[in-house]
């Protein structure tokens, strides 16, 4: 059945559309400038020049040197390389004895599952930091958790499910004082918050182009010069020996173009989106009974709203909104299809009967006030219907 109704996209934390200027920048690198950037001939040199420029642009945008920027196959890969690369380096320098890893229970699976695997298969001790009811990590808990054998601390900049921002600069300062490498997954942030690796006191930082109007399947890992790192993937010497594999030049060029685009748009968009976000939060709380904000009400990404609704199945609500023409999410796109409450919401102390009714509505550069108004009009009735059908079931 075809429908003529406009679908309203409100899931910008899952992914973003590629900006026109990003598409245009990438276009020549599919089949005109198609050389392998490692080849010595002119085709290769042309590709290598574009890749060098992409390293420089991305580095400049985040306060890093070009040589500290590594292009990866996605954000998940950047997180994996960060944790594994530092852990493997520590293991080598400690004659094989594993060390200690610190992270938080609200991390994306890309960090959380990597830390657990390093624990289960490689013998690293693992500390999961406590979080408060908004998902915040307390820097003092990081200070207390660091041990002489701690090799890496990993705390995300902005939470994908609940939008809460973490005190990265303070945690980074503690890690630096104690000589421990610090990684942040900043994947949700760059379109809405400026990123500077020096101001944030980080040694490693992960980005993913498709979260900021660039192409899917391209990530960035920043590795501060001097950070202990053994490449976890083995192969050729690409990306200065830190990530083997023929580099996706079009993707790197697209990432650089996307960084230029968001650097230009970010400030005005952040102001506009903060107003829309706050209006959406206030509207939902006023119109839907038994609704709460999940995550911090204000110390959160400017484009991000998330709620829990008592006695509602989040996936049924998502489907009801989809039928009404709204694309939203239950939390993270990566966990959809899982009927269990989100571990992130449970870690924040949200009771199960509320946590099952999680909903994430994330705005982006193309979201209008009309979109938000339309959602506010449709949501109360969708929640009512889903609650009603749960009672009848
Ligand atoms: C915070 C966070 N980390 C990591 C990822 C994974 O990034 P990618 O989709 O590029 O693998 C995501 C994607 O949702 C994310 O939100």
Residue 109 lies in a domain: yes
Dist. CA 1 → ligand 1 center (Å): 33
Q: Are 180 and 67 within one domain?
A: yes
The ligand 1 site (C-beta within 6 Å) comprises 74-76, 79, 108, 110, 156, 160, 185, 187-188, 208, 219, 332, 334
Which atom of ligand 1 is nearest the CA belonging to 219? 10
> How crowded is residue 261: how many other Cβ atoms within 10 Å of its Cβ?
21
Residue 61 lies in a domain: yes
- Residue 341 is part of a domain; what is its CATH number? 3.90.1150.10
Cα 284 from Cα 393, distance rounded (Å): 26
Query: What does residue 223 show for φ and ψ, rounded to 5 degrees?
Result: -125, 110
Last residue of a domain, one of 244, 261, 278: 261
Dist. CA 32 → ligand 1 center (Å): 31
Residue nearest to atom 9 of ligand 1 (CA): 75
Residue 2 lies in a domain: no
Q: Are 239 and 337 within one domain?
A: no
Cα 263 from Cα 173, distance rounded (Å): 26
pLDDT number for residue 98: 84
Domain count, the chain: 2
pLDDT number for residue 333: 45
Reply yes or no on whether 134 is catalytic: no
Host H or E run for residue 86: helix 75-93
Dist. CA 207 → ligand 1 center (Å): 8
Residue 1 lies in a domain: no
For the chain (length 393 residues), average pLDDT per consecutive 10?
Answer: 74 98 98 97 98 98 98 98 97 82 98 98 97 98 97 98 98 98 98 98 98 98 98 96 97 98 98 98 98 96 98 95 96 56 95 95 98 98 93 76
Query: Which range of residues forms the domain containing residue 64?
Result: 20-261
Residue 314 lies in a domain: yes
Q: Are 120 and 139 within one domain?
A: yes
Residue 50 lies in a domain: yes
Last residue of a domain, one of 199, 233, 261: 261
Q: Are 248 and 285 within one domain?
A: no
Which of 184, 187, 217 for mutating ligand 1's site (highest number of atoms within 8 Å of CB)?
Answer: 187
Residue nearest to atom 14 of ligand 1 (CA): 14
Residue 307 lies in a domain: yes
Q: Are 241 and 343 within one domain?
A: no
Q: Are 201 and 83 within one domain?
A: yes
94 Cβ partners below 8 Å, 6+ apart?
A: 149
Confidence (pTM): 0.96
Which atom of ligand 1 is nearest the CA belonging to 159? 1
234 Cβ partners below 8 Å, 6+ apart?
A: 244
Q: Are 242 and 363 within one domain?
A: no
Q: Are 201 and 69 within one domain?
A: yes
Last residue of a domain, one of 216, 244, 261: 261
SS3 1: coil
Q: Are 37 and 162 within one domain?
A: yes
- Residue 92 is part of a domain; what is its CATH number? 3.40.640.10
Q: Are 245 and 315 within one domain?
A: no
Cα 219 from Cα 207, distance rounded (Å): 6
Q: Are 180 and 124 within one domain?
A: yes
Q: Are 244 and 306 within one domain?
A: no
273 Cβ partners below 8 Å, 6+ apart?
A: 192, 302, 303, 363, 364, 367
């Amino acid at each position: 059945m075809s429908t003529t109704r406009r679908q309203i996209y409100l899931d910008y934390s899952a992914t973003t559309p590629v900006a026109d200027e990003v598409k245009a920048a990438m276009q020549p690198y599919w089949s005109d400038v198609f050389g392998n950037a490692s080849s010595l001939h002119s085709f290769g040199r042309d590709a290598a020049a574009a890749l060098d420029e992409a390293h420089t642009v991305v580095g400049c945008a985040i306060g890093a040197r070009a040589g500290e920027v590594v292009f990866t196959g996605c954000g998940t890969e950047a997180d994996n390389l960060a944790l594994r690369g530092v852990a493997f380096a520590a293991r080598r320098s400690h004659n094989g004895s594993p060390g200690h890893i610190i992270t938080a229970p609200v991390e994306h699976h890309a960090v959380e599952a990597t830390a657990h695997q390093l624990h289960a298969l490689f013998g690293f001790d693992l500390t999961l930091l406590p979080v408060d009811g908004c998902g915040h990590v307390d820097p003092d808990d990081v200070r207390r958790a660091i041990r002489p054998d701690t090799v890496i601390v990993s705390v995300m900049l902005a939470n994908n499910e609940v939008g809460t921002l973490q005190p990265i600069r303070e945690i980074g300062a503690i890690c630096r004082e104690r000589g421990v490498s610090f990684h942040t997954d900043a994947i949700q942030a760059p379109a809405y918050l400026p990123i500077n690796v020096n101001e944030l006191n980080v040694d490693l930082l992960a980005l993913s182009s498709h979260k900021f109007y660039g192409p899917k399947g391209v990530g960035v890992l920043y590795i501060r010069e001097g950070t202990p790192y053994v490449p976890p993937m083995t192969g050729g010497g690409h990306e200065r020996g830190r990530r083997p594999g023929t580099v996706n030049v079009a993707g790197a060029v697209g990432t650089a173009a996307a960084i230029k685009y968001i650097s230009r748009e970010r400030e005005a968009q952040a102001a506009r989106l903060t107003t829309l976000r706050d209006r959406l939060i206030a509207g939902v709380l006023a119109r839907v009974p038994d609704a709460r904000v999940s995550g911090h009400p204000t110390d959160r990404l400017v484009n991000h709203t998330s709620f829990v609704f008592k006695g509602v199945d989040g996936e049924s609500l998502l489907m009801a909104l989809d039928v009404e023409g709204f694309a939203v999410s239950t939390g993270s796109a990566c966990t959809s299809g899982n009927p269990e409450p989100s571990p992130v919401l449970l870690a924040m102390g949200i009771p199960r009967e509320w946590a099952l009714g999680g909903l994430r509505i994330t705005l982006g550069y193309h979201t209008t006030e009309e979109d938000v108004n339309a959602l506010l009009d449709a949501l109360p009735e969708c929640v009512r219907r889903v609650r009603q059908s749960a009672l009848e079931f």
